[in-house]
Amino acid sequence: MVGSRVLCSDAVARITSDKRCGERATEQFAPNLARLEIDMRQMALIGFLQAQNCSNFSFSWRHPDSRTDFTSPDYYAHIARVLEEGKFHMAFFDDRLGMPEYEGGAYQDAIENGIRCIKMDPMATLMPMAMATTNLGLGATMSTTYYEPFHVARMFATFDLMTKGRAAWNIVTSLNDTEARNMGRDGSIAHDLRYDRADEFVEIVMGHWDTWADDALIVDKQSKRFGDGSKVKRLDYQGQYLKSRGPFTVPRSEQGHPVLIQAGSSGRGQKFGADWGELIFVVYPNLEVAKKNYAGLKEQCAATGRDPDTMKIAHLINPFVAETRAEAEDKLALVETLPIEADSLMLLSEALNFDFGSKPLDEPFTREELDSMTGLHAMRDRVIEVRGPAPTIRDFIEVTERGRVRDPWVGSVTEIADRMEEWFTTPACDGFVIAASCVPGTYEDFVRLVVPELQRRGLHHKDYAGTTLRENLGFVRPEVGAWKHRSNA
């Protein structure tokens, strides 16, 4: 064990082995021991959710134990209660503003096979979850390309008030052409330009969130004074791409403003995350890469003038856990029977903006075809790196494992907890985003089996530190305008 757990046990050893003072010392230092417990670095746990018929695994609805009432509030309220029972820090909805389709518009396979074809509005879907819980943080994805910043600022600020400071915004720039077409555009905006616009977008949102001083509201019926007009500023933002005037119409919340989440993986995306992200979602291929990238991202964060502890990095995992390893392997074996070829073809089409239904599985791609893929270039380039310059569709399916279970973490409770502890203490991450192959079964298993073990090891809090998401993540409530003091602002 390394990191703060060692620091902590060293301190405990020092205190309790003090021979001069013996038992008196232990008594005297008892409050410090309690404080050390509280100060121990705690793992952030986040439930990866979808307001749709399946999880991020399009096959999950086919699981014999998955619930099918995914359009009902009870379904989401139940998941929220399970996660809160496990003291998860947050539940978060991913989102895309379109249905998977083959390039050219054929979407019917998505509906026939339930491939992410239902996507409800994440904010509205969070409401039954908010009503069913009191401490669980609640995050939703909202695109900087297809919404107006004032709209996003108002939605999340309102949601933050309605949840007493539990809201978080996952900032995405949106890469799918299907999304562009639904939003009246012909195609997506160029990659880096999306992020340049997103910088301005976030400056506007954060700017509006800062325009109300904490004591702007008076609401005194006797004096008939409702608020202090001098304590609500107008933003008057004029950028290269975006502008917004104000005044903003929602006061600050218990946690100041919603927590910002980011998950960009490109160089530009990571820079954006280092500038803005308070929670960063990552998918690292192994511990070695994770350790290096984790340190790199923290350094990038520090270079902007931020304290790197104000940015927590959470790694996405696909757990298959049971009392014994054999049972966990059986769970995975069942899940591996669920994907069909259409899952991979449709999700590859969506990720790469290319028609993966247009060619035989084993026909090599031409250079022109590869160049015309405008989606996730990192995904395309990885396939070329592994399978050579003329990969086939089958190569794409096998290397990316899109539509299949990718990098499952399979094992007994001890094995899964050991692996999480190793990643956390290395450190290669500050926490985990938990994906589900069966909903709500994966979360129920995790909370029933893994959470108590993590708590026993002192890695995961036994209870919430407070009621706001910031308090529970160990973040301070930001002063108005605090982010403007950073070197990037």
Ligand X SMILES: Cc1cc2nc3c(=O)[nH]c(=O)nc-3n(C[C@H](O)[C@H](O)[C@H](O)COP(=O)(O)O)c2cc1C
Distances (CA, A) of 248 to 245, 279, 423, 469: 8, 25, 42, 23
Q: Rounded distance, CA 285 to CA 158, Å? A: 37
Asked if residue 283 binds ligand X (CB under 6 A), the reply is: yes
* Contact call for residues 247 and 232 (beta carbons, < 8 A): yes
Work out how close the CB of 415 gets to ligand X at its nearest, in angstroms, rounded to a whole number.
23
Residues of this chain, 351-390, that bind ligand X according to CB under 6 A: 376
Contact between 177 and ligand X by CB under 6 A: the answer reads no
- What is the DSSP secondary-structure string of 76-124? HHHHHHHHHHTT-SEEEEE--SS---BTTTB-HHHHHHTSS--B--HHH
By CB under 6 A, name the one of 4, 182, 249, 266 that touches ligand X: 266
Q: Does 265 bind ligand X (CB under 6 A)?
A: yes
Segment near ligand X (CB under 6 A); pick from 123-131, 173-181, 318-326, 367-375: 173-181
Q: Identify which of 232, 32, 69, 246 has the alpha carbon closest to the alpha carbon of residue 148.
A: 246
Q: Is the dihedral of CA 272, 173, 146, 260 positive or negative?
A: negative
- Which residue among 141, 145, 253, 442 contacts ligand X (CB under 6 A)? 141
Footprint (CB under 6 A) of ligand X, residues 46-105: 94-96
Nearer to ligand X by Cβ, of 379 and 482: the residue is 379
| CB 15 to ligand X: min, Å | 40
**Please, what is the minimum distance in Å from the beta carbon of residue 240 to ligand X?**
20
Contact between 212 and ligand X by CB under 6 A: the answer reads: no
Q: What mask of x and - would describe binding to ligand X in positions 298 to 317, judged by CB under 6 A?
A: ------------------x-
Q: How far apart are CA 269 and CA 274, in angstroms?
A: 9
Tell me phi and psi for residue 32, to 5 degrees. Answer: -65, -35
Neighbours of 3 (CB within 10 A): 13
Residue sitting closest to ligand X (CB)? 269
Is residue 433 a contact point for ligand X (CB under 6 A)? yes
User: Is there binding between residue 189 and ligand X (CB under 6 A)?
Assistant: no
User: Residue 164 corresponds to which tokens in the numbers above?
Assistant: 């007493």
User: Is the Cβ of residue 96 or residue 166 nearer to ligand X in the bound state?
Assistant: 96
Alpha-carbon distance 337 to 479, whole Å?
52
Q: Are 252 and 165 in contact (CB under 8 A)?
A: no
Measured from the CB atom, the residue of 169 and 248 that comes closer to ligand X is 169
Of the residues 86, 165, 269, 339, which one makes contact with ligand X according to CB under 6 A = 269
Interface residues with ligand X (CB under 6 A)? Answer: 94-96, 141, 170, 172-175, 263-266, 269, 281, 283, 316, 376, 433
